Each structure stands twice: as C-alpha cells, then as structure tokens.
Amino acid sequence: MRAFAVDSFGSAGSVRELPVPDPGEGEVLVRVHAAGVNVMDPIYTGGWIKDYMEHRFPLVPGIDVSGVVEAIGPGVTAFKVGDEVFGVSSKPFVGGGTFAEFATVPVSGLARKPANLSHAEAAALPHVALTAVAAIDAADPQGGQVILLVGAAGGVGSIVSQLASARGAKVVAVTSEASAEHARALGAAETVDYAKDAVAELKKRYPDGVDALIDLHSDAEAFAGYAELVRKGGVAVSPRGPAGAAAPSIEERGARFAAANRAASERLGEVADAVSTGRIRVPPIKTFSLEEAPAAISEMANGHVRGKLVIAVR
C-alpha cells in the first residue's frame, strides 16, 4: 500500500510502499479515503512526546479517518466488510496512522459515516468534534450566557461556536480580522481581533465579565489574561496542557478552571447524529494529496489554520 511516513523525528517524510497491516483483536482494516490532519501530527512526527508514548518507525501519522471496512479482526461484531465508517484511531503507540491507503483502527473509535457527508468531510470531524464536545461539557453554556471563545476559526472552535450558540448562548469570538467573517458564519455573535489588545477591548464591552471562557489556543500566560474576564462563579476551559499552570490564579479570583480533553470515542454517534440533522456543519476544508502531507503537517504546526486540513488518500 502507499503510505506517507517519516523515518526519524523532524524529517520531512515521503510516500512509500508499506505492507498492508492485519487487523488485530477488536480492530478492523479500513480502506482509507481521507484522513484529517490534527495538531498532534506535527507533535508526533517532531518527537515532542517521544518520552511519553512508544513510537514505531517508519512512522505513519494520522488519527482521523474516513473510509470503508476492508477486513474484520477477531472479536469484532459491530461492523462488517463494506461498511462506511469514520472515527479516530486510538492506539497505545504512534506510527500506525491513517495517512495511508489502509489502516487498522480499533472499533472503539469508529462510527458509521453519516450518509450526507463525503469522506473528506467525515475525516475532518472526529478529533475536533470530540474535543469540542468535551469543551462544551466543561463550560455547560446556557441560554443568555456570554461565552468567550479564543481560537474560534480552527476546527475545534468552529464546532464549539455552533454547539454553544445552539444552546442559546452568545458567543464572542477572539480571532484574526481575516477570520472574523468565518467565525460569525459558524455561530459567533461578535468578534474581537486578537492582534488589537483583545482583553482591553473585551473589558470595555463586558465590564461585568463573561460567564465562561473556552480558550483553544493560549499558553498559561495568555490564558490567565483572558480568564480575568470570567466573573466569579464562572469557568475557564482549555484543552491545552500548558494552560493548566494558570489554574491557581483563576481559582483565587473565584472562577473555576476545567481541562477539556477529547471526549470518549463512544460519543461519535452523537456527532454523526448532529451532522445528519444539520445541528453541526463541517468546518471549511483545505485538501492535500498524500504526497503533500509534509506541507499539511507544516501548516498545522505553524498554527492559525482556518477550518480543517484533510489528506485525500483516494
């Protein structure tokens, strides 16, 4: 099979022929049509967490997948050959990813692909949608509340904005001026340019503070600055590990800090239902070929991605 892989941390990688893997216990072999690109891909290929997870070379990145079940591993009863599926491949090691024509995927991370989505659209959803669900669970936005959203233009932010506004909350998006229209199209009621002292501007607009902060982008220092806008009893949410260093200062002010890791893959069914019924729209997609995977990984590493990046495998 054709697959994109790297042979060492930090290398550009290339497309090469690799053996088609065999599905193990609880896995299916997926003929990959599309694979989403996520923030973890440059982290994996760069070796930034090599001391925390096993890495296997040649290392094939990619965790999001959409495709067709090609073969069934032992103990699998939920799917059959020919089923269209999408989901996230969660393995105990890095390297057996989805930037390939075939990938083995644990069935615990798969759901049936919504019929109204293309494979590229479906591959754009799993990781970002599950992370957005976790952030919404943590913030629990209610009708009439003001939710400050930092990083609204990316894949996760595009879905957080839709979910929060669907609950009747007012989403105030901190984003670039170039992405403001994109943020408003996906549910933001207001936008603030992060390059123009956004905290000072927000204090003018909301002198009594906001009900919740969902910050998908900032490190601890910037996160703490935005969290100053959260009124007592409110909550500041981040999926980023470094932001946790700001928790003590946030809680000293009477607000609550909440980490939002990716929700369990079992909730992909909720995502599929929300997409099928129109409650979630897929973020805008920028597509790359398998040969262009290095460019996609580099663009993700540089940040400020609008919408989602997807590798079109077939």
> Mind listing the pLDDT tens digit for each residue in 101-110?
999 999 999 9
In a domain, residue 269? The reply is: no
Instruction: Transcribe 5-28 into DSSP letters.
Output: EBSSTT---EEEE-PPPPP-TTEE
Amino acid 103: pLDDT:
98
CATH code of the domain in which 306 resides: 3.90.180.10
Cis status, amide bond into 126, omega within 30 of 0? no
Please identify which residue in the block is written with the tokens 């990938």. Answer: 103
- Phi-psi domain of 232 (left: phi exceeds 0; alpha: psi -120 through 50; beta: other): beta
- State whether 114 and 179 are in the same domain: no
In a domain, residue 153? The reply is: yes
The answer to whether the CB of 186 falls within 8 A of the CB of 213 is no
Distances (CA, A) of 90 to 27, 97, 234, 240, 265: 11, 9, 33, 19, 9
- State whether 141 and 225 are in the same domain: yes
Amino acid 82: pLDDT:
98
Amino acid 303: pLDDT:
83
- State whether 156 and 114 are in the same domain: no
pLDDT over 90 (residue 5): yes
Residue 222 burial (10 A CB sphere; 0-12, 13-18, 19+)? middle
52: phi then psi, degrees, rounded to nearest 5 = -115, -20
User: How far is Cα 164 from Cα 149, in angstroms, rounded to an integer?
Assistant: 10
- State whether 64 and 135 are in the same domain: no
What are the helix (H) ranges across 253-302?
268-276, 293-302
- Amino acid at residue number 310: V
Residue 75: count of CB within 10 angstroms of its CB: 10
Nearest-CA neighbor of 43 among 65, 59, 66? 59
The answer to whether the CB of 120 falls within 8 A of the CB of 184 is no
- State whether 73 and 144 are in the same domain: no
In a domain, residue 270? The reply is: no
Amino acid 100: pLDDT:
98
Domain count for the chain: 2
Task: Give the mean pLDDT of the chain.
Answer: 96
Q: Which residues make Cβ contacts (< 8 Å) with residue 173, sequence separation at least 6?
A: 149, 152, 153, 157, 161, 180, 183, 184, 188, 190, 191, 192
- State whether 134 and 114 are in the same domain: no
Pairing mode of beta strands 64-72, 84-88: antiparallel
Write out pLDDT tens, residues 248-260. 999 999 999 999 9
Amino acid 136: pLDDT:
98
pLDDT over 90 (residue 84): yes
Please identify which residue in the block is written with the tokens 């970002």. Answer: 128
Write out pLDDT tens, residues 190-237. 999 998 999 999 999 999 999 999 999 999 999 999 999 999 999 999
- State whether 246 and 133 are in the same domain: yes
- State whether 6 and 121 are in the same domain: yes
- State whether 193 and 173 are in the same domain: yes
186: phi then psi, degrees, rounded to nearest 5 = -110, 25
- State whether 33 and 112 are in the same domain: yes
- State whether 139 and 59 are in the same domain: no
The answer to whether the CB of 243 falls within 8 A of the CB of 235 is no
Host domain of residue 212 = 128-259
